[in-house]
Amino acid sequence: MKYLVILFLLFVHLSARQNKQELTIGAGPYLQSEPYKGVSTLVLPSPVIFFDNAVVYARWSRFGVYFLGDKKEDYSWGFSLTVQPRTLGYKASDSHYLNGMNDRDSTLEGGLAFSAQYKDSTYIEIMLLSDLLKKYNSWASQVEIGDRFKAGNFTFYPSVIILYQPRKFVDYYYGVKSSEARRNRPAYSPDGGFEFGVQTYIKYPLTKKLSAFFNMRADRIPNSAYNSPLVNNKFIYSGLASVMYTFEY
């Protein structure tokens, strides 16, 4: 992930226009509950970057390059190539129940994204992503619709998310191969399915340039994943807490 951040910041510098650009950077702990039996919550340090100059963009830990789009006074839209991490999976050593399983790894996804926004508030984003590291060796898609609200000094960015995860995706992260089966862990090969999520970003200014930034999210995994003998929770909960610094250059 750090190499993606370095490359992005270099690209930002090279693509900057003559007018000033606003860049927001920060870092903080990212937490994600695991649906697998006996597996502890994932805790990772996470960079947080927000930037968009109509050429390149960053949205937390996802980066992209526009190749088609337009921006008017009331709305904007764009097609881009994008890349993001997929934090899911486990090591066989993570719990006693997973002993004898092959590890399932997180990966890096990349593909095509379309985004549109109205009056810097309501937005929609559609992504079709492929597994770049050939872990689940397939693709996944996502639709997100959100808005922006202010309450006092707080700014909220709630959204709803629908993800389609095909059979290869669900089978890789939730399936049990015949060679991995045990008496209390039967072989299981699930179908694809839909995952539904809700989340909100929360921003609170601390000074003119510093702000506190939070993310809270809950995802309901597909039924075919929940029926896996590896799983004991329908929901994945995740969140981030960060201090952000915004500056112009």
Quick one: pLDDT at residue 14? 47
Helices (H) and strands (E) in the chain, counts: 3, 13
Q: What are the pLDDT digits (tens) for 19-36?
A: 678 999 999 999 999 999
**Residue of 171 and 20 predicted with greater confidence:** 171
**What's the CA gap between 17 and 149, in Å, rounded?**
30
In this structure, are residues 245 and 25 in contact, taking their beta carbons and an 8 Å threshold? Answer: yes
Quick one: pLDDT at residue 229? 98
Quick one: pLDDT at residue 77? 96
Average pLDDT of the residues in 178-198: 97
Quick one: pLDDT at residue 11? 52
- At residue 17, does pLDDT exceed 80? no
- At residue 154, does pLDDT exceed 80? yes
- At residue 18, does pLDDT exceed 70? no
In this structure, are residues 210 and 218 in contact, taking their beta carbons and an 8 Å threshold? Answer: no
Q: What are the pLDDT digits (tens) for 43-64?
A: 999 999 999 998 999 999 999 9
Average pLDDT of the residues in 129-150: 97
Quick one: pLDDT at residue 30? 98
3-state helix, strand, coil in the chain (%, to 5): 15, 55, 30
19-23, 63-67, 97-101, 233-237: the lowest-pLDDT one: 19-23
- Dihedral sign of CA atoms 1, 29, 149, 147 in order: positive
Q: Is 172 helix (H, G, I), strand (E, B) or coil?
A: helix
Of the pLDDT bands very low, low, confident and very high (cuts 50, 70, 90), residue 249 is confident
DSSP element (H, E) containing 216: strand 210-220
**What's the CA gap between 140 and 143, in Å, rounded?**
11
**What's the CA gap between 121 and 198, in Å, rounded?**
17
Quick one: pLDDT at residue 85? 97
pTM, to two decimals: 0.90
- At residue 5, does pLDDT exceed 70? no
In this structure, are residues 154 and 143 in contact, taking their beta carbons and an 8 Å threshold? Answer: no
- At residue 1, does pLDDT exceed 60? no
State the chain's mean pLDDT as an integer.
93
- Dihedral sign of CA atoms 217, 166, 67, 108 in order: positive
- At residue 79, does pLDDT exceed 70? yes
Quick one: pLDDT at residue 21? 83
Quick one: pLDDT at residue 73? 87
Quick one: pLDDT at residue 248? 86
Average pLDDT of the residues in 113-139: 96
- At residue 225, does pLDDT exceed 70? yes
Phi–psi pair at 13, nearest 5 degrees:
-65, -45
